[in-house]
A and B are shown apart, each in its own frame.
Chain A
């Protein structure tokens, strides 16, 4: 504390020599001049004295017949006067401080964690809608509201946490791991009952009904949209006339068989970029969403790729600033027309075929028969596949009223 006071007021280190330094010290004590760090160096003595004390020392020096000279000046007053001589430096320092303080009041970066199904772009666009975008003043940010809005507007998000770390807004979310995809359809079917309807044309290969009235048998041809199982179950009178219809949710295992022809055509010739090996590195600097390339003249290559990376400037790990730096690599290439060899073509065709099979499997389609041929030509190869497929191509639909329901399907007696 005392040191701080001494520093703020300023003090000097003086060298004292002469007839009696002891007498000078006694006089200092009597005149309430604080002296400290007194050290004897044989011929002379050094001591520290405050600036005000130093001026009060003058008559005492005369009285005691000693002499004093300033060795060093310490403290804020001396520092300030030194700074006055270095105006530009001082101004720069102050500007720098002001700059950092102003910059740190803004949000410069948004980081999102924990999103798997919602992409970062979607969430950032949503945040922009909510008025959160970079750059924005930190004090306009309402974190609690933002968390709530995120939870309310996205059913998928079950938990949110937003917090500021330096100039970064860190949004952490947790997504519902088992979202229910079509809740409305089930709700609609609850009251009215549902039919099972063919999604595409084909032959019924297999049908086992658990609830509802089957409208087709195995072996029947159906068109897309035909009702396969009706959700309207008739309730009969004693004389075998229909009394009314009871609506249920139809449920059945049905597979439809159909044939499909798939053909894939691939050219033997292809274009490829061949990099000439000539490349250039360009330094880039960016501020916010602008970029400047540090290059001289234009790029002389006819065709070229540009790839690059940039890094955001940050302070102390979390304090992101709107400055970017990075490099761009420009690579020259020329287009070449090349020809696949026989082996390569076979490989390509095989991978195409595998792709077809896997996409069918992913859709839950079984292949019961297949006939694959490959036609070769000078310029292209064609893969033809005649497939017989089986698929549970059925969708649910609101139960249709039976044709004769008009007079009988009224309310219960």
Chain B
């Protein structure tokens, strides 16, 4: 796998999370939303669950491929 130099996310189905400071998060490669409130957003990835915790969380946009979360992010947890 390493020697083939293939993108790991496509092969393993791993989610990509890009967090800018503690204000924005950009997520690719997920299956869907499990839970949404201003304090907690839970996403179902292909291999694990992702939980964003914080305050005043909102979803800037949401499509099948990617989504963007903004607000004050306190923690990103993999469950």
Residues of A bordering B, CB below 8 Å:
21-22, 25-26, 28-30, 32, 34-40, 42, 45, 47
- Docked CA distance A36–B61 (Å): 4
Give the shortest distance, in Å, between A53 (CB) and chain B (any CB).
11
Q: Which residue of A lies closest to B35 (CB)?
A: A22
- With A26-B32, A29-B32 in contact, do A35 and B37 touch (Cβ < 8 Å)? no
User: Can you pick out 13 interface pairs between chain A and chain B where the beta carbons lie within 8 Å of each other?
Assistant: A25-B32, A25-B36, A25-B59, A30-B64, A36-B59, A36-B61, A37-B58, A38-B58, A38-B60, A39-B59, A40-B37, A40-B58, A47-B59
- List residues of chain B with CB within 8 A of the CB of A25: 32-33, 36, 59, 62
- List residues of chain B with CB within 8 A of the CB of A34: 61, 63
Q: Which of chain B's residues 26-79 have a Cβ closer than 8 Å to chain A?
A: 31-38, 57-64
The number of chain B residues touching the other chain, given as a range, is: 10 to 19
- Grouping DSSP codes into helix (H, G, I), strand (E, B) and loop, the A interface class, with mixed when no group exceeds half, is mixed
Q: Are A35 and B62 in contact (CB under 8 A)?
A: yes
Q: Of B34, B36, B60, B63, which is within 8 A of A45 by CB?
A: B36
Give the shortest distance, in Å, between B44 (CB) and chain A (any CB).
9
Q: Are A35 and B64 in contact (CB under 8 A)?
A: no
Q: Are B64 and A32 in contact (CB under 8 A)?
A: yes
Q: Are A29 and B62 in contact (CB under 8 A)?
A: yes
- List residues of chain A with CB within 8 A of the CB of B38: 39-40, 42
Total A-B contacts with CB atoms under 8 angstroms apart? 51
Q: Are B36 and A40 in contact (CB under 8 A)?
A: yes
- Docked CA distance A42–B34 (Å): 16
Q: Of A29, A32, A36, A38, which is within 8 A of B36 by CB?
A: A38
- Docked CA distance A339–B65 (Å): 104
Q: Are A29 and B58 in contact (CB under 8 A)?
A: no
Give the shortest distance, in Å, between B20 (CB) and chain A (any CB).
18
- Docked CA distance A28–B33 (Å): 11
Q: Are B36 and A21 in contact (CB under 8 A)?
A: yes
Q: Are A37 and B36 in contact (CB under 8 A)?
A: no
- List residues of chain A with CB within 8 A of the CB of B32: 22, 25-26, 29
Q: Which residue of A lies closest to B40 (CB)?
A: A40
- List residues of chain A with CB within 8 A of the CB of B36: 21-22, 25, 38, 40, 45
- List residues of chain A with CB within 8 A of the CB of B60: 36-38
- List residues of chain B with CB within 8 A of the CB of A38: 36, 58-62
Q: Which residue of A lies closest to B57 (CB)?
A: A40
Give the shortest distance, in Å, between B57 (CB) and chain A (any CB).
8
Q: Are A22 and B33 in contact (CB under 8 A)?
A: yes
Give the shortest distance, in Å, between B32 (CB) and chain A (any CB).
4
Give the shortest distance, in Å, between A2 (CB) and chain B (any CB).
9
Give the shortest distance, in Å, between B64 (CB) and chain A (any CB).
4
Q: Are A36 and B62 in contact (CB under 8 A)?
A: yes
- Docked CA distance A25–B36 (Å): 10
- Docked CA distance A38–B71 (Å): 12
- List residues of chain A with CB within 8 A of the CB of B35: 22
- List residues of chain A with CB within 8 A of the CB of B58: 37-40
- Docked CA distance A32–B64 (Å): 7
- List residues of chain A with CB within 8 A of the CB of B57: 40
Q: Which of chain B's residues 8-36 have a Cβ closer than 8 Å to chain A?
A: 31-36
- List residues of chain A with CB within 8 A of the CB of B63: 29, 32, 34
Give the shortest distance, in Å, between B65 (CB) and chain A (any CB).
8
Q: Which residue of A lies closest to B61 (CB)?
A: A36
Q: Are A35 and B61 in contact (CB under 8 A)?
A: yes
Give the shortest distance, in Å, between B42 (CB) and chain A (any CB).
8
- Docked CA distance A32–B62 (Å): 10
- Docked CA distance A40–B33 (Å): 14
Q: Which residue of A lies closest to B32 (CB)?
A: A26
Give the shortest distance, in Å, between A358 (CB) and chain B (any CB).
86
- List residues of chain B with CB within 8 A of the CB of A40: 36-38, 57-58
Q: Which residue of B lies closest to A38 (CB)?
A: B59
Q: Are B62 and A28 in contact (CB under 8 A)?
A: yes
Give the shortest distance, in Å, between B48 (CB) and chain A (any CB).
17
Give the shortest distance, in Å, between B47 (CB) and chain A (any CB).
18
List 14 additional A-B contacts (Cβ < 8 Å) besides A25-B32, A37-B61. A22-B32, A22-B36, A26-B31, A26-B32, A29-B32, A30-B64, A32-B64, A34-B63, A36-B59, A36-B61, A36-B62, A38-B36, A40-B58, A42-B38
